[in-house]
Amino acid sequence: MAFSPDFLEEIRARITLSSLVGRRVKLLRRGREHSGLCPFHNEKSPSFTVADDKGFFHCFGCGAHGDSIGFVMQSEGLSFPEAVERLAGEAGLEVPRQTPEEEARAEQRSSLFDVMEQAAAWYEANLAAPGGQEAGAYLRGRGLLPQTTAAFRLGFAPNRRGALRQALNGKGIDDEALIAVGLLKRPEDGGALRDYFFNRITFPIRDRRGRIIGFGGRAMGESKAKYLNSPETLLFHKGRVLFNLDKARKAAHDTGEVVVAEGYMDVIALAQEGFPAAVAPLGTAITEDQISELWRLAPEPVLCLDGDSAGRRAAYRAAERVLPLLQPGMSMKFAFLPDGEDPDSFLRGEGPQEMRRLLNGARPLVDVLWAKETEGRPSDTPERRAALRSAVRTAVGVIRDPELRQDYRSEMDQRYTAVFGPRPSQRGGQSGFSGPRAGHGAWGGSRGKAQPAMLRPRRKPEQLRRRQEQILLAVLINHPDLLAESAESIATLELSTPGLEGFRQALVDLISQDPGLDSEGLKCHLCDEGYSRDLAAVLDRDMYVHGKFARPDAAKDAARGGLEHVMALIRERQATRATQDVAREWAAEMNEDGLARLAATQKLNHEEEKRRTALDGDEGSERREPNPV
């Protein structure tokens, strides 16, 4: 049985090769490819490679090579037609029967590609002709270089109805062929045939193999639709196509990234400014087929969206669409432009370096999902918080991969706990319990017995520093008015705990941008910026045992006094480090004066350390019972 090349290409496009091979071989991602032990011969070290973007596997040990169809044939011992039929069923495709009608249809498709090529050449010639001067000026005004216009084969459909029909009829292309590819249309009132595109700049849309299958058109005059795509035809299925896919494939392979924009001009501007792996989904919400196509290009495509409410809605729709399809290593990221900007205008105004910075800072899918479920949702009562928790769990419940679904559920639970605190069942006691956690004494002893301080292991200096810095941040989050008051002082502190320095800077940036932010708003923004785990650690109930002034219900004066005390400790530590650096320089001199100054400095440091009151309740000269939570 013979199968058309287009049908076989559709099978290969719908089934990711690594997912097919991965059912029989444990694959590990190595950059743009996957590798594992060859299923066709015995080996101890991996020599078997799968390249999704190229659509083939290869074993450097035994030489086995092929595509998805060849893999099924070799691994299951099936004939070519049997392998095609099995994969077609898996892809949801009906195997075409080679009837005379089907053969005629395949021949017709082949001839229609030539019709589209003729139309594209005619549109290009019109753009270069005197009648295309206005359209050419518009493209130059948008910043397009002549070589860019030529590379994308942009054209112009003149404002003369029937012009295309007349020109292509003169080349021997009849009306039925022009109707079949969507270049002519029959009006609903039964009038004369009309050109589908007129008075529009044309953008050829190509398939994976670079064949023109449709056009987009941008109106040059008044029109109900500024942009218009070809209708669905034998060649063109809008939901399966990505604009610039054929050109982006090689660039994505070379760079490991792909950028998804919203419009033709955005993609062209990105390509011109050094981002050739750019595509667009033709003005529709992204589809499952398009997501699969994107994952053939890169494991985490970046959606670059307009910085307005419509852009956020588009991000939320994309998140909904991609969640059920998620696979280990395959996801999506989101880059949000400033309000009122699109990639084209942003590149013209800010330049490619700023675009690179924005793309490098793209947010992961989990951040967008959290924002989608929490944005504008009230959470000021237990019932509303429970509804939020339920909505978030329902959202991640659509993920089909069980391990990935559980990972997302854990991440969402962590974010919820970071913002609202642990639920009673997570606190080790009943709701309303205000003493030490069950099974722990006030000083952390077991079974309700306080353990004498001198018998407990002393905390390491880095643990004390971390505790102090976490308490500092807890005060600022729970009392954002104090953060606003002391933002300049906080900005000059240097935190030594890995990860907390960025957390501190994020707090200062947030309160500087919006001094009226309350505690809940700060928490939500911090989670959105990827600090959910740090936030959960900072606001852990154990933290308040060591600094009750950090609690959200602490009196303002107590919170302010505690904040000043912790800041003083951290600044003293900074000063001590600086002094120690100088002392080391004195010691290095190895003379009498230097050693004397070193001894005096060490004595002062020792006295200062004895004076300092530690916050942990297990260190320092003043021993006080920590306040129970």
pLDDT digits (tens, 9 = 90+) for 29-47: 877 788 899 988 888 888 8
Give just the sign of the alpha carbon dihedral 350, 352, 358, 362. Answer: positive
The amino acid at residue 235 is: L
Minimum mean pLDDT range among 356-370, 495-509, 531-545, 606-620? 606-620
Q: Which of 390, 436, 461 is nearest to 625 (CA)?
A: 436
CA distance 124 to 115: 14
Average pLDDT (490-513) is 81
Cα dihedral value 320, 321, 324, 330, nearest 10: -110
Helical (H) or strand (E) element with 398: none
**219 to 156, 200, 214, 223, 571: CA distances (angstroms):** 10, 4, 16, 7, 63
Residue 300 has pLDDT above 70, yes or no: yes
Per-residue pLDDT, averaged over 491-520, amounts to: 81
Strands 155-157 and 65-66: unpaired
pLDDT interval class at 602 (50, 70, 90): low
H/E stretch holding 4: none
pLDDT of residue 252 exceeding 70, the answer is yes
Q: What is the pLDDT of residues 158-197, one digit of tens each?
A: 998 889 999 999 999 999 999 999 999 887 776 788 899 9
Q: Please tell me the predicted confidence (pLDDT) of residue 596.
A: 55
Residue 95: per-residue pLDDT: 75
**More confident site: 102 or 407:** 407
The reported pLDDT for the residue numbered 570 is: 81
Q: Using alpha carbons only, what angle is made at residue 450 by residues 449 and 456, rounded to the nearest 5 degrees?
A: 120
- Confidence band of 508 (pLDDT split at 50, 70, 90): confident
Whole-number pLDDT of residue 619 = 37
pLDDT band at residue 1 using 50, 70 and 90 as cut-offs: low
pLDDT of the residue at 291? 92
Residue 258, pLDDT above cutoff 60: yes
For every residue of 557-592, DSSP letters joined together read HHHHHHHHHHHHHHHHHHHHHHHHHHHHHHHHH-SH
- Does the structure show a pLDDT above 70 at 587? no
Band (pLDDT 50/70/90 cuts) for residue 614 is very low
**In the block, residue with structure tokens 């590798």:** 35
pLDDT value, residue 548: 83
- Does residue 368 or residue 606 have the better pLDDT? 368
The answer, yes or no, to whether residue 281 has pLDDT greater than 50, is yes
Residue 445 has pLDDT above 50, yes or no: no
**Cα-Cα-Cα-Cα dihedral sign, residues 547, 548, 554, 556:** negative
- The pLDDT of residue 102: 61
Q: Which of 193-197, 544-548, 612-616 has the lowest mean pLDDT?
A: 612-616
Look at 446 and 282; give whichever has higher pLDDT.
282
> Read out DSSP for 355-372?
HHHHHHTPEEHHHHHHHH
In this structure, the strands spanning 278-279 and 333-336 are unpaired
Say which residues have a Cβ less than 8 Å from residue 19's Cβ, sequence separation at least 6: 327
Q: Which of 20-29, 269-278, 298-307 has the highest mean pLDDT?
A: 269-278
What percentage of the chain carries pLDDT values higher than 90? Answer: 31
Q: CB-based contacts of 590: which residues, under 8 Å, 6+ apart?
A: none
**Is residue 612's pLDDT more than 50?**
no
Examine the pLDDT at 436 and tell me if it is beyond 50. no
Per-residue pLDDT at 2: 66
Q: In what order do the strands lie in the sheet with 200-206?
A: 155-157, 200-206, 212-219, 227-229
Q: Hey, how many other C-beta atoms are within 10 angstroms of the C-beta on 604?
A: 12
The per-residue pLDDT for 405 is 92
Percent of the chain exceeding pLDDT 70 equals 82
Among the residue ranges 54-63, 161-170, 610-619, the one predicted with the least confidence is 610-619
When mean pLDDT is compared across 183-197, 432-446, 513-527, the lowest value belongs to 432-446
Residues 112-169: pLDDT tens digits? Answer: 999 999 999 999 999 999 999 999 999 999 999 999 999 999 999 999 888 999 999 9
pLDDT at residue 346 in the model: 92
3-state helix, strand, coil in the chain (%, to 5): 55, 10, 35
What pLDDT is recorded for position 575?
Answer: 64
Residue type at 287?
T
Residues 6+ apart with CB under 8 A from 330: 295, 299, 300
Among 310, 400, 326, residue whose Cα is nearest residue 364: 326
Q: How many CA atoms lie within 13 A of 143 on its CB side?
A: 16
Q: What is the pLDDT of residue 87?
A: 86
Average pLDDT for 430-446: 30
Query: Looking at the predicted structure, is the pLDDT value of residue 449 above 70?
Result: no
351 conformational bin, left if phi > 0, alpha if psi -120 to 50, beta if neither:
left
Q: How far apart are CA 384 and CA 106, in angstroms?
A: 58
Token look-up 């596997």 returns 57
pLDDT band at 358 (very low <50, low <70, confident <90, very high): very high
- Give pLDDT, residue 459: 46
Question: Residue 625's pLDDT band (boundaries 50, 70, 90)?
Answer: very low
Give the tokens for residue 264: 């033709």
Q: Whole-prediction pTM value?
A: 0.61
CB under 8 Å to 408, separation ≥6 — which residues?
366, 369, 396, 399
Q: Is pLDDT of 290 > 60?
A: yes
All structural domains of the chain, each given as residue ranges with its CATH number in brackets, are 5-91 (3.90.580.10), 99-236 (3.90.980.10), 242-420 (3.40.1360.10), 461-611 (1.10.860)
Q: Between 536 and 69, name the one with better pLDDT.
A: 69
Contact 296, 16 (CB under 8 A): yes
Looking up tokens 């045939």, which residue turns up? 193
